[in-house]
Chains A and B, each alone.
Chain A
Amino acid sequence: MPSSHDWINKPLGVVEAMFAQSNSNPEWEAKVLEYFKGQLREKESHSWVPSLNDVPLHYLKPNSLVKFRCLVQDMFDPEFYMGVYETVDPSTKANVLRCGKYKDVTECGVDLNSRNTVTAERQTFYCVPIPGESPWAKESYGCSSQARVVPSTSYVPSRQKRSYEEDDDDMDTQPQKQREPHTEPHGNGDSKRQETEAPSSQTTAPSDCSSHLDLNFPLPGERGPACLVKVYEGLDSFKLNDTLEIYGILSVNPVLTVLGEEKDPSLLLLNPTESMETPEEQRAHDPPASLVPRLHMLYARPLQHNNPLLPSAPTEDQSAFVSSFLVEMASVRAELLAYLTHVLLGDGLAAEYLLLHLISNVYTRRDVLPLGKFTLNLSGCPLNSYTERLYQIVQQLVPCSYRLSMSLHTMNSMRLVPKKDYVANRLVSGALQLARNTSLFLDETQLEQGQLDSSGVRNITALGNLISWQKVDYDFSYHQMEFPCNINVLVTSEGRSLLPSDCQVPLQPQVTPPNMEEYLTTIHMAQFTSQINKFRVYLSLARTLDYSISDEVTKAVEDDFVDMRKDDPQSVTAEDLHRMLVVARLLSLSLGQTTLSRDGWMRAKHIDMLRRSRTEQQKSLNGNEP
């Protein structure tokens, strides 16, 4: 158990000490970063840092080091701040140089005319928790934290926060009553984490906050803290929708909450700097710090995945982990396949395809063409909440997912594509602003006949673009801007989906359980947590493996293609070859093979043939299907 660390509890002290030592040598900035990076590199040290994701804000000490697992939702304009400034002590008239970095407010008595003032630049990112993060992932992240959290103030929990007190034992180490919710790493299935999850959300903040603050989460019903992250270095390396784990200094200074009401309209007229912002803009850019804390970034780690069960950084640990898991790969795959087969009512082929879909990933782009995407259309899904259940099972397996029920109403009313709001000067999020490798579950069985209005058409077009090109055109009102994405789209439908897809599999249930819900629940219950965890690791890991094709196999594939075309040129097109290459890739990876073998290719061909014959069958059955 680590004892108190100054670099976690008082990082600003560290920064200031370094600044004082530096004698305004600009190198101190690099030193600070190096120091914190070094501290975090130490074994397990990052788990001592409390996380904004699972510790309620009022438990965190202001100006302490915290971490935040998030998605960059919006990037605000760069701002200039006083990097170094001078203060005058009113009593002694002595000038003192101070450092303004990593702080929101200055000390009192700033000499605005000092020649020693250094203006520096930083940028603010608006970050939200990773949208659609599965409950199990959140829970598991929370459990691995070893941070000591000490309530910062003599805060008396309000009625709704009751549950914390019940959970947490008081400690006597300090005179003040303190709650320490996460002193020890908990084992699996920690129930109390779950409880703290919901009430800690900032969205349910008490009504005394001035107005309903829209925290701008991409998905409806999301909760968790949003955060304004001040970024000082490497501004160009961050992109919108990046998932990051940010280590920074928490700032919740109430001074930041400059709300509109105190403003005198006559002042506005005369003071140009105040009239620049509309109230909406102020609300968006300077929300109360108690709701949207500020985080001054010291170090950020891009997250390749947000699966807590996998080592997060590409270190030696990870390669060891991977190689040890590779041995098990094939057996886990078989188990998972069996599980999915049960879930898909005994349809083994569909289960195979679903498995491939779950590990698909856009690994590169060739000019406009995204490679590796594998949108699956499961047609012929039984109605009555089957799809909902299916989604719940998918959600249990992947760290990030979202189910979009494509009912007429949601299609017409929901905002899928993010849109720039010029009045508030922010990017209003939409449901398609998702982190990489999020599973998007489109439920077309919910769609009924009716009229799509113009926004509905736009939404459908956006979904189509997403599937075909893996990009979303954000609406900037005067123009559109294209943001590439990497989202696994699964469409469930009755007939063939109206959306394009890479591959359509008609579901052929082998069993017809009388009570679907019961059937699926029992399947789900039958799995041990350890088993499920294995599946989770498997799915995340298979996606990250490298892959190549040897020249020899290339030759074989080419020959094969030519042969197939010889028999019947209409039967196999370039499109089909594209798909089969993706299937072959995914199939190899799913077995833990990083190169394509001849067998792998034959297998891919085989299952594609099975699938095609099934669609043909379906076609002749329905007759009028196009």
Chain B
Amino acid sequence: MSSPTSTPGRRKRNRDDIPATPKSTRRRGQDSSNGDLRAMPTSPATDIASPAVHDTSLFSSPRRSVLPSEVDMSSPLMYGTPSSRVEARQRPDLGSIRKAPQVDLHSEPPSADGAVASEQALGQKLVIWGTDVNVGTCKEKFQRFLQRFIDPTSNEDENAGLDLNEPLYMQKLEEISVVGEPVLNVNCSHVQSFDADLYRQLISYPQEVIPTFDMAVNELFFERFPDSILEHQIQVRPYNALKTRNMRSLNPEDIDQMITISGMVIRTSQLIPEMQEAFFQCQVCAFSTCVEVDRGRIAEPAVCRNCNTTHSLALIHNRSAFSDKQMIKVQESPDDMPAGQTPHTTIVYAHNDLVDKVQPGDRINITGIYRAVPMRENPRQSNVKSVYKTHIDVIHFRKTDEKRLHGLDEDSDQKLFTEERVQILKELASKPDVYDRLSSALAPSIYEHEDIKKGILLQLFGGTRKDFSQTGRGNFRAEVNILLCGDPGTSKSQLLQYVFNLVPRGQYTSGKGSSAVGLTAYVMKDPETKQLVLQTGALVLSDNGICCIDEFDKMSDSTRSVLHEVMEQQTLSIAKAGIICQLNARTSVLAAANPVESQWNPKKTTIENIQLPHTLLSRFDLIFLMLDPQDEAYDRRLAHHLVALYYQSEEQIEEEFLDMAVLKDYIAYARTYINPRLNEEASQALIEAYVDMRKIGSGRGMVSAYPRQLESLIRLAEAHAKVRFSDKVETIDVEEAKRLHREALKQSATDPRTGFVDISIITTGMSATARKRKEEVAQALKKMIQSKGKTPAMKYQQLFDDLRGQSEAAITKDMFEEALRALADEDYLTVTGKTVRLL
């Protein structure tokens, strides 16, 4: 493979002094183990020379008109080690398989190289062909990066447990020596902040730079931990390259560069054993030789070099070397695609230990090298399809939804905001009326209901997540749950639809159409693998988002019961078909319910109107009534609003769409970056508010607030602080939370009999007055029975009539029965059929 045409190239690279060896296709690992290897050279000049000895052809593959050559990753340049104990491992991800044919270097005396050549005269500045990468400098730089890089503000989960004030990657190396997993993940943004030039090189010439990094790491590692035993040499896996974020923006310029894209796995192939090296044995003299696979083809040696017999070599399969490979199809994640288009897919190849790391349905960030391969030339066809096949060779996977199962931080949704965007958002936040502005931008087509919109706005922002697991309480719920009830046709569904469209992780279900499994999770047997697969339902899917449930009242009881756990503990326990697990479902619930009698009955309590269990109702932070106010001024404004809706001009609509985008970003930004905490005054205000709430009721012997209400207040106050982009919860936040909470309560927890707000309607399902009255009736009945003297049995109807006659207040049959039941509970009497017996 060492062809004479490449000699000038070598000359340019100042390699004339090195004798060319013919055995260019020898495998690296063997090189090392044979013992005939050179020690890792220290000076850059000889350093670059060593690979040339091995395989000159490696330096001649063209970069499709962009760059004339590339380096073979499996060359000893990359894997020559100072210590030969550890075998290097091929990195098919960097493209050792693909070696393009050689180019005639005569034809192109590149100017850049000319300059380099002059420098080379000094024996100092050598670069890899076609790049501006100098192996020595690059290595040095990377080693310096490893030794010095400190990131005190790191909050990545991977760095948990590391001392942030010590060099980060040295600690990781130490970890490798202990754990023995020879993979070093390097965050590209770290490299960038440390040395922008190195980062640029890494992005532009990953094929050349990453092996150099490998080399650097291994040198450093074995210097430090000379006794560690690793399976193979450490491989550097960069991730988080900022080059590309979106699959859609990939274009021909990205070919052969390192990119990071996000997407969702839609299909994975079977494992493909890919031949790396073919082993041939001569049938005559048993001489063996190895041939590397070159672009999927094996050049079968025609003549045995030992005995010179022609066509005597046979391929021995089980002595050939194979590597694992898997094809993965990745689809654009639905969040970052333009409306009205279909998602793009990309083919990704995973190699070696990255095989089977991801499953269909996973959302992942992929860092890899983007490749374009011309379609296979068919010898039978004179002309070829002019299309390239593109794929990505993966270097690093990062699952973004891992946290859904493990529950760590929430940087998964991290949306990148440009400087200007942040500036716009901050400007907006600094306006005093930002709260009103945002709430009016929310669903502008829905008229009025300002408080409800404000409530929903706070729900969109959510409270601050607090972790009390150390004290045994577990996570505090940060999500705000809201229930809307009201007459049909008051645009509840529309509001829900709007919210669902606004938030990135929203789910919309209807109570009628969803079953318990559809909401939670179900176990399915994969038809192909016969494996049990856990499929997640709406609640789990909306983790960190909002689950909109329409027609909440129509939901069956068993379905509703799963909501109990979700709405307070924010988890979902599954025990089905051998799978027992607890999934996170940190979702806010926005539900809408219609009254039982189709029209809201103002004479009844909320509970009676919507017939939902109070255990569930008490889990809603805010319950709003959406009623038809039926007054003239309102009607007029409504009419105006609707008519305007129908003839507004294009520009106005345009303007509004802008608002929606801003609103989206505003919420996303606040959710990610703002974590307000209570300050002293605010805590004081909260305490006061709570005590006041308790006091209101205590005068009449009713409880008007429970700790749950206090928690709601805190959440709402925090959310309001988030709206202001404030890191502190201040008194104004508490004031607004109080106001909103009171408004909601006024609507939903007013006892229609007394007109007082009574929280027990929601917490126990019955107002305190009603309970008191029940007791009174029971007592009256008891007194009446006692006054009748010793009669062991009475007629039911007669007793009822007597009681009615005696009492001043009207006694209904229900009340009478309730009283009887109460007395039966006291073991005072029993009711059998139509007779009442005293005990």
Rounded to whole angstroms, the CA-CA distance of A243 and B630 in the bound complex is 46
Q: CB within 8 Å of A: which of B46-75?
A: 62, 64-65, 68
Q: CB within 8 Å of A: which of B352-385?
A: 360-361, 372-376, 381-385
Stretch of A1-9, A487-495, A565-573 at the chain-chain interface: A565-573
B9 vs chain A, min Cβ distance (A): 14
Rounded to whole angstroms, the CA-CA distance of A582 and B325 in the bound complex is 60
Rounded to whole angstroms, the CA-CA distance of A536 and B296 in the bound complex is 61
- The reply to whether B293 and A256 contact each other, CB–CB distance below 8 Å, is no
- The reply to whether A74 and B342 contact each other, CB–CB distance below 8 Å, is yes
Rounded to whole angstroms, the CA-CA distance of A112 and B646 in the bound complex is 60
Does B608 sit within 8 A of A, measured CB to CB? no
Complex interface bits, B574-612 against A, C-beta within 8 A gives 1, otherwise 0: 000000000000000000000000000000000000000
**Residue among B108, B273, B349, B645 having the largest count of chain A Cβ atoms under 10 Å:** B645
Does A558 sit within 8 A of B, measured CB to CB? yes
Rounded to whole angstroms, the CA-CA distance of A85 and B101 in the bound complex is 17
Does A209 sit within 8 A of B, measured CB to CB? no
B496 vs chain A, min Cβ distance (A): 9
Does A368 sit within 8 A of B, measured CB to CB? yes
Rounded to whole angstroms, the CA-CA distance of A274 and B391 in the bound complex is 12
Known: A367-B443, A561-B639, A565-B635. Is A276-B347 also a contact (CB below 8 A)? yes
Stretch of A34-42, A57-65, A75-83 at the chain-chain interface: A75-83
Rounded to whole angstroms, the CA-CA distance of A574 and B643 in the bound complex is 11
Known: A74-B342, A270-B296. Is A367-B444 also a contact (CB below 8 A)? yes
Does B389 sit within 8 A of A, measured CB to CB? yes
- The reply to whether B387 and A549 contact each other, CB–CB distance below 8 Å, is no
Taking CB atoms, residues of chain A closer than 8 Å to B267 are 422-423
B696 vs chain A, min Cβ distance (A): 33
Other-chain residue from B266, B445, B513 in contact with A478 (beta carbon distance below 8 A)? B266
Rounded to whole angstroms, the CA-CA distance of A77 and B390 in the bound complex is 10
Complex interface bits, A602-623 against B, C-beta within 8 A gives 1, otherwise 0: 0000000000000000000000
Does B432 sit within 8 A of A, measured CB to CB? no
Does A103 sit within 8 A of B, measured CB to CB? yes
A472 vs chain B, min Cβ distance (A): 12
Does A320 sit within 8 A of B, measured CB to CB? no
Q: CB within 8 Å of A: which of B386-412?
A: 386-391
Does B494 sit within 8 A of A, measured CB to CB? yes
B347 vs chain A, min Cβ distance (A): 5
Rounded to whole angstroms, the CA-CA distance of A371 and B491 in the bound complex is 15
Taking CB atoms, residues of chain A closer than 8 Å to B325 are 272
- The reply to whether A271 and B640 contact each other, CB–CB distance below 8 Å, is no
Rounded to whole angstroms, the CA-CA distance of A113 and B64 in the bound complex is 6
How many contacts between A and B, using CB within 8 angstroms? 211
Stretch of A116-124, A220-228, A308-316, A373-381 at the chain-chain interface: A116-124
Known: A272-B97, A369-B445. Is A558-B640 also a contact (CB below 8 A)? yes
Taking CB atoms, residues of chain B closer than 8 Å to A81 are 386-388
Other-chain residue from A105, A118, A273, A585 in contact with B646 (beta carbon distance below 8 A)? A585
**Residue of B with least CB distance to A565:** B635
Other-chain residue from A113, A121, A367 in contact with B103 (beta carbon distance below 8 A)? A113
- The reply to whether A105 and B386 contact each other, CB–CB distance below 8 Å, is yes
- The reply to whether B342 and A484 contact each other, CB–CB distance below 8 Å, is no
A506 vs chain B, min Cβ distance (A): 21
Known: A271-B296, A366-B653, A573-B489. Is A108-B645 also a contact (CB below 8 A)? no
Does B343 sit within 8 A of A, measured CB to CB? yes
Taking CB atoms, residues of chain A closer than 8 Å to B513 are 457, 461
Q: CB within 8 Å of A: which of B469-516?
A: 489-491, 494, 497-498, 501, 513
Known: A239-B340, A276-B347, A574-B491. Is A562-B646 also a contact (CB below 8 A)? no
- The reply to whether A80 and B497 contact each other, CB–CB distance below 8 Å, is no
A297 vs chain B, min Cβ distance (A): 16
Does B264 sit within 8 A of A, measured CB to CB? yes
Q: CB within 8 Å of B: which of A285-325?
A: none
Known: A113-B100, A119-B64. Is A255-B635 also a contact (CB below 8 A)? no
- The reply to whether A106 and B252 contact each other, CB–CB distance below 8 Å, is no
Taking CB atoms, residues of chain A closer than 8 Å to B373 are 272-273
Complex interface bits, B77-109 against A, C-beta within 8 A gives 1, otherwise 0: 000000000000000000001001101000010
Taking CB atoms, residues of chain A closer than 8 Å to B344 are 77-78
Known: A557-B643, A558-B639. Is A275-B489 also a contact (CB below 8 A)? no
- The reply to whether B383 and A107 contact each other, CB–CB distance below 8 Å, is yes
Does B329 sit within 8 A of A, measured CB to CB? yes
Does A479 sit within 8 A of B, measured CB to CB? yes
Taking CB atoms, residues of chain A closer than 8 Å to B468 are none
Does B773 sit within 8 A of A, measured CB to CB? no
Size class of the B contact interface (CB-based, 8 Å) = 35 or more
Rounded to whole angstroms, the CA-CA distance of A469 and B671 in the bound complex is 29
**Residue among A80, A367, A457 having the largest count of chain B Cβ atoms under 10 Å:** A367
Taking CB atoms, residues of chain A closer than 8 Å to B272 are 269, 275
Q: CB within 8 Å of B: which of A411-427?
A: 420, 422-423, 425, 427
Does A578 sit within 8 A of B, measured CB to CB? yes
- The reply to whether A255 and B252 contact each other, CB–CB distance below 8 Å, is no
Does B334 sit within 8 A of A, measured CB to CB? yes
A561 vs chain B, min Cβ distance (A): 4
Taking CB atoms, residues of chain A closer than 8 Å to B372 are 80, 119
Known: A113-B100, A368-B494, A457-B513. Is A478-B361 also a contact (CB below 8 A)? yes
Does B707 sit within 8 A of A, measured CB to CB? no
**Residue of A with least CB distance to B490:** A574
Taking CB atoms, residues of chain A closer than 8 Å to B178 are none
Does A129 sit within 8 A of B, measured CB to CB? no
Taking CB atoms, residues of chain B closer than 8 Å to A425 are 329, 345
**Residue of B with least CB distance to A87:** B383
**Residue of B with least CB distance to A123:** B344
Complex interface bits, A412-451 against B, C-beta within 8 A gives 1, otherwise 0: 0000000010110101000000000000000000000000
- The reply to whether A105 and B255 contact each other, CB–CB distance below 8 Å, is no
Taking CB atoms, residues of chain A closer than 8 Å to B444 are 366-367
Taking CB atoms, residues of chain A closer than 8 Å to B250 are 78
Does B275 sit within 8 A of A, measured CB to CB? yes
Known: A271-B376, A554-B640. Is A105-B383 also a contact (CB below 8 A)? yes
Does B793 sit within 8 A of A, measured CB to CB? no
Does B416 sit within 8 A of A, measured CB to CB? no
B70 vs chain A, min Cβ distance (A): 12
Rounded to whole angstroms, the CA-CA distance of A573 and B634 in the bound complex is 12
Taking CB atoms, residues of chain A closer than 8 Å to B384 are 105-106, 110
Rounded to whole angstroms, the CA-CA distance of A71 and B250 in the bound complex is 26
Known: A112-B374, A255-B383. Is A75-B342 also a contact (CB below 8 A)? yes
Does B191 sit within 8 A of A, measured CB to CB? no
Does B147 sit within 8 A of A, measured CB to CB? no
Other-chain residue from B252, B297, B342, B644 in contact with A120 (beta carbon distance below 8 A)? B252
Rounded to whole angstroms, the CA-CA distance of A79 and B373 in the bound complex is 11
Known: A103-B386, A369-B494, A423-B267. Is A565-B274 also a contact (CB below 8 A)? no
- The reply to whether A573 and B628 contact each other, CB–CB distance below 8 Å, is yes
B203 vs chain A, min Cβ distance (A): 19
- The reply to whether A548 and B647 contact each other, CB–CB distance below 8 Å, is yes
A365 vs chain B, min Cβ distance (A): 8
User: Can you offer 23 A-B residue contacts whose CB atoms are under 8 A?
Assistant: A74-B342, A75-B342, A78-B250, A80-B390, A104-B385, A105-B386, A107-B383, A108-B383, A115-B65, A239-B341, A270-B275, A272-B97, A367-B656, A367-B660, A368-B497, A457-B513, A478-B266, A479-B264, A482-B501, A484-B339, A549-B647, A557-B643, A561-B639
| Residues of A that sit less than 8 Å from B by CB | 74-75, 77-82, 85, 100, 103-108, 110, 112-121, 236, 238-241, 255-256, 269-276, 364, 366-369, 371, 420, 422-423, 425, 427, 457, 461, 469, 476-479, 481-484, 547-549, 554, 557-558, 561-562, 565-566, 569, 573-575, 577-578, 581-582, 585
Interface contacts beyond A115-B65, A240-B341: sample of 18 additional A-B pairs, CB < 8 Å, sorted by A: A80-B387, A80-B390, A85-B386, A105-B386, A106-B386, A270-B293, A273-B376, A275-B272, A276-B327, A367-B656, A422-B266, A422-B267, A476-B334, A481-B342, A483-B340, A558-B640, A561-B635, A574-B489
- Shortest 3 CB-CB contacts between residues of A and residues of B: A239-B340, A561-B639, A558-B639
